[in-house]
Structure formats: C-alpha cells, structure tokens
Amino acid sequence: MGDWKTITVPVLSSDSKNILPYTSERKRSPTSMNSQVLRLSLPSSKNMHSFFSAFCTEDNIEQSISYIDRELTTLGFPSIYAESKGKELNLISIINCINELLVLQHKNLRAQEEVEMQHLKLGSDMDHLQNCYAKLKEQLELSKREIVGLQERDRQLQSKNRNLHQLLKNEKDEVQKLQNIISSRATQYNHDMKRKEREYNKLKERLHQLVMNKKDKKLAMEVLNYVGRADGKRGAWRTDKTEARNEEEMYKVLLSDYEQRQKQLLLENAELKKVLQQMKKDIISLLPPQKQKPKERSEEGLVLSDQEEDIGELNKENMWELSCETVREQLTNSIRKQWRMLKNHVEKLDNQVSRGHSGTLNEKDVISREDHELETEKLELEIQQCKEMIKTQQQLLQQQLTCDDDTTLLLQDCYLLEERERLQEEWSLFREQKKNFEKERKSFTEAAIRLGLERKAFEEDRGAWLKHQFLTMTADCKSENVTTPSSDPDIRLMKSASRQRKPPSVLGAPVSAEPCQTSPYIAQNSVASENPAADNMPNLWVESDDKEETE
C-alpha cells in the first residue's frame, strides 16, 4: 500500500491498468496458479514511470483527460470536468473520483485476497482428500488380498480335515478287518487245537491202557509200617452217609462265611445309617430360616408337614433297627432334600455376596460395606501411627546407641552421679532410720529395765510377805523365838545385800548365756541398780565393758 501511494501521489492520473502490476507486486503468491496468472502481467517497479509517461505526455493532456473522463463516467463516477463546458477540471470531483477509485481498489484487493485464500484452502482440502482416497484404496487392496489368503487357507484346512476323516475311516475299517481276521484265525486255531487234543487224548488213553496192562509185579508202595492219621481218626468207608456229611459240611462252611460277611455288612450299614442321621441333623440345624418358608405355603403345607412328622418319627432311636426298603428310601430321600435345600441356601448366600461386591442398591450391604471400609481406614491409620511411633523409638534407641563417646561418657557420668546422689540419699535415710531404731530400742530397754525393777520390787515384796508370813507362823508356833524387829532390819539389810548380790549373780549368769545384744540391757540393769541415770550409748558400751571386766 505504501509503495502504491508514493508512486501515485505525484502523478494524479491513475491508470487502471497499473492496478494489476501493483497487486501483483504486493502479492507474490506462493500458489502456482496465481503466480502463473500474475507473472504474465508482472512488470518491475522500474517500468512504473515509463507507464505513466506512456499514457499521458505533454502533447495529449487534453485527450487523456477526456479519455479519463469518459472512462469515469462510464464507470458511474461524476465527470471530472467542471459543469460549464470548458476544459476546466473540477478538482474536487477529480479528487472524489480518485478517492472512490482508491476505495474500489481496496475492496477489490480484499476480495481478491479472500478469493485467493479460499482457493488455497480448497487446494489443500483437495490434496488431503486425495491422500485419504489413495490410502483407503491401498487398505482396500490389502484387505482384499487378506481375504483371499484366508479363504485359501480355509479351503486347505477343510481339505485336510476331509483327508484326515477319510484316513480315520480307513483306519477304523482296517482295524475292523483285522479284528475279524483275528477272530476267524482264533476259531481256526481253536478248531485245530481241539483236533490235536483229541488225538493226544487218544494217545494218552492208549498209553494208559498199556501202562495199566503192564502191571508191575512189585508193590507200588512199600511202607515199613502204617502211619497214624494226623488227627488220630481211622479211615472210613465211602458211603452215601459220608457223602451227605460232606455236603453238609461244605454248606456249613459256606453258610458261616456268608453269615460272617453279612454281619460285617450289617455293622457297616448301621454305622453308615448313623452317619447319615448325624448329617441330616447337622443339615437341618444349618437351615433354620428355610424351614419356615415351606410351612407358609398352604399348598404344600400339608404334604411337607407330613413329611416333617415323618422325619421326626424317623429321628427316633429305634429307627436304624428297621432296614426295610421304605425306611431306607425315606431316609435317603429326606437327606437328599435337606441337602438340596442347603445347597440352595448356600447359593443364595453366594449371590448375595457377589451382588454386594458389584455394588448394587442393596442398602444393607452398601452400608455395611461402608462401615467396613471406615473401619479398615481407621485400622490403617492406627497402624500408621504405631509404625511411626516405632520408628521414632527406634531412632531414639539408635541415637542412644550410636552417640559420640564423649556424650556417652557424660551420660554415663550423669547416670552415675544420679545414682550416687540417690545412694547418698538412701544412706542418710538409712542412718536416720537407724537412729530412730536405736532410740526406740533405748526406750524399749528403759521400759524393760523399769519392768525388771518393778518385777524385782514385786519379788522383794513377795519374798518379804512370805517371810513375814513364815515368821509370823513360826512366831506363833514358837513364841520363844524372838525375832526382834531389830533383827528385821538386819535381816532386811542382809536380805537386801544378798538380794543385791543376787541380781548381779542372777543377771551375771544370763550375761554369759545371752548374746551381746542383750548385754547392754543387763549391763544397764546393773548399772541402773547402782546408778539409775540414763547414759549415752557409747558411754553405756564403755561402762558395760567395764562392768563385765569387773565381774
């Protein structure tokens, strides 16, 4: 467009013939047909100016103007002349005409473009269709060839089949023939054999006669002495009685054998019947819901109820003693029926299960399946959690095991310190407890000492009382014996001294006998008797030692 403008502006007259070259210049179309058409009218840009100058020169300006005017008017444009008949040009109309021509040019160009585009499209469509067509033709060819090949193979196979059938028939015929041959030969051989055998028999007879005639003079058998029979019986004559007895015995043997067999069979039968009964009971127990249905049906209700009753009767204990046909048949029939019912039941269950799997609108199944799925999901989650826990624990363990040496030592030290502290705590606790125990023991010993003292006092009182009694008695009996009150204190002193001496001796004996643990108590006693002050433990120990030494 730009090119076109620069060329035409200086020259006001536009040649319609120049339009074509410009369009051709602008559109170097790739399509062959277009290019062919356009190349014919493709002048170079250099020739533009020559064209312009070829049409309108300075000589024929007016002629060219009138020519242009004529052309324009024929095309429907207003005249370029001014209205007055002069040779004055109406510039405005010229410009309008030029504009109109330009617009027309544009439109034409666009239309041409469109047409060319469509042309191209159609061309490519055509190509495509032609390719498809070629391919389809090829495919058709191929498939036709295949069909032909397959038909050929089919024919071959059929012929082979026929041949094989023929062969088979031939073989069968041959086999038949051979069998016939064999049978005929066999009969022939039998016949020959029989003939030969008869001859042989005749010879044997002859020989037998000869042998019997030539009776040997010597005894055929010589025995030193007769041998007793194995069972000790004597030989018997052959009589009819013996024959009858033989028959009897033989029949007895046979009968006993048969009886034995029959017993075995009866036992087997009884066992099998028991097993069948058991099976029937089991089957019936497996089918509780089914039983009700047949009873609901009114048509067969009576019959079935009868049969149920029969079955009930059959279940009685003495059933298997009857072995007549009807009972047996009933049993087997009932079992067959129950078995069939069980089979139906199982089949129904199978169907239900399969329906559940295929996911039909059986609500119960669907819901249960959903529940089932939920549960499985829950379980899976739990499993996951557990696994994670296990992993973390494992990691921790690993960390512990595979720490650096320093950290392990530190850790161990920490543990040791911990332990030590704990131990120290425990020790202190223990010591405290020990002290408490000692205190308690001390108090117990004091209590025991007190108790001992009280006992001593009590004993002294008792002794005194007894003495008093005795003395009073003796005083009563022997009024001469004067027991002055003065002697009492002496006696008392003596007694106390003796008593005082007694306790050490009394207590001394136990000292040696009892273990040292109790010695503090006794030592304390003795100490307390002299010095009833409570001392510290270590002092006690020392004093007791001293005491023991002195004693």
- Residues near other proteins, by CB under 8 A: 179, 182, 186, 190, 193-194, 197-198, 201, 204, 207-208, 211, 214, 216, 218-231, 235-236, 238, 242-243, 246-247, 249-251, 253-254, 257
How far apart CA 288 and CA 185 sit, in angstroms, is 70
Shortest Å, Cβ 320 to other proteins = 21
Q: Nearer to other proteins by C-beta: 201 or 407?
A: 201
Q: Nearer to other proteins by C-beta: 247 or 490?
A: 247
Return the ∠ at Cα 501 (arms to 497 and 503), rounded to 5°: 120
How far apart CA 24 and CA 36 sit, in angstroms, is 11
SS (H, E, C) 261-312: HHHHHHHHHHHHHHHHHHHHHHHHHHCHHHHHHHHHCHHHHHHHHHHHHHHH
Contact 341, 293 (CB under 8 A): no
For the chain, give the number of residues.
551
Shortest Å, Cβ 186 to other proteins = 8
Phi, then psi, of 451 in degrees rounded to 5: -60, -45
Q: Nearer to other proteins by C-beta: 63 or 246?
A: 246
Shortest Å, Cβ 274 to other proteins = 21
Residue 331 one-letter amino acid: L
How far apart CA 499 and CA 515 sit, in angstroms, is 25
Q: Nearer to other proteins by C-beta: 76 or 226?
A: 226
The span from the first CA to the last CA of the chain, in angstroms, equals 153
Shortest Å, Cβ 329 to other proteins = 21
Contact 308, 256 (CB under 8 A): no
How far apart CA 502 and CA 509 sit, in angstroms, is 11
Shortest Å, Cβ 333 to other proteins = 24
SS (H, E, C) 479-523: CCCCCCCCHHHHHHHHHHHHHHHHHHHHHHHHHHHCCCCCHHHHH
Residue 118 one-letter amino acid: Q
Shortest Å, Cβ 150 to other proteins = 41
**Token pair in block for residue 446:** 């004091």
Shortest Å, Cβ 377 to other proteins = 44
